[in-house]
Amino acid sequence: DAKTTQPPSMDCAEGRAANLPCNHSTISGNEYVYWYRQIHSQGPQYIIHGLKNNETNEMASLIITEDRKSSTLILPHATLRDTAVYYCIVRALTNAGGTSYGKLTFGQGTILTVHP
């Protein structure tokens, strides 16, 4: 899996957009970018993923640069409940039998604090 680099912490005002960056300069052509978050001591929560194109769902948008070396997760209208650790994970789809099959590796992530 490609290595990712995220800022350790960020702040955002409630109601504003939160833009969380992730660098993954060694990403391979078959690797996806996944975003998860973990609200304090709760189970990690899948947010969104993408390969090349920008993606949007009900939770967030994912913007991937053309060279795919970095991406940005956008929470369009952050709320206090979005305060969490956000993890950017880069990995390819895995085949059964591979040593990394289904094994997500969560790095340090970005602690996002949304304040009133």
Partner 1 sequence: EAQVTQNPRYLITVTGKKLTVTCSQNMNHEYMSWYRQDPGLGLRQIYYSMNVEVTDKGDVPEGYKVSRKEKRNFPLILESPSPNQTSLYFCASSFSSGRILTDTQYFGPGTRLTVL
> Which residues contact partner 1 (rule: CB under 8 A)?
32, 34, 41-46, 49, 89, 91, 93-97, 101-108
- Minimal distance, residue 8 CB to partner 1, in Å: 14
- Minimal distance, residue 57 CB to partner 1, in Å: 11
Which H or E run contains 87?
strand 84-92
- Minimal distance, residue 98 CB to partner 1, in Å: 9
| Nearer CB in complex with partner 1: 12/88 | 88
CB < 8 Å & 24+ apart, contacts of 1-5? 1/31, 1/89, 1/90, 1/91, 1/92, 1/100, 1/105, 2/26, 2/27, 2/28, 2/31, 2/90, 2/91, 3/90, 4/88, 4/89, 4/90, 4/107
- Minimal distance, residue 14 CB to partner 1, in Å: 25
| Nearer CB in complex with partner 1: 15/100 | 100
| Nearer CB in complex with partner 1: 97/116 | 97
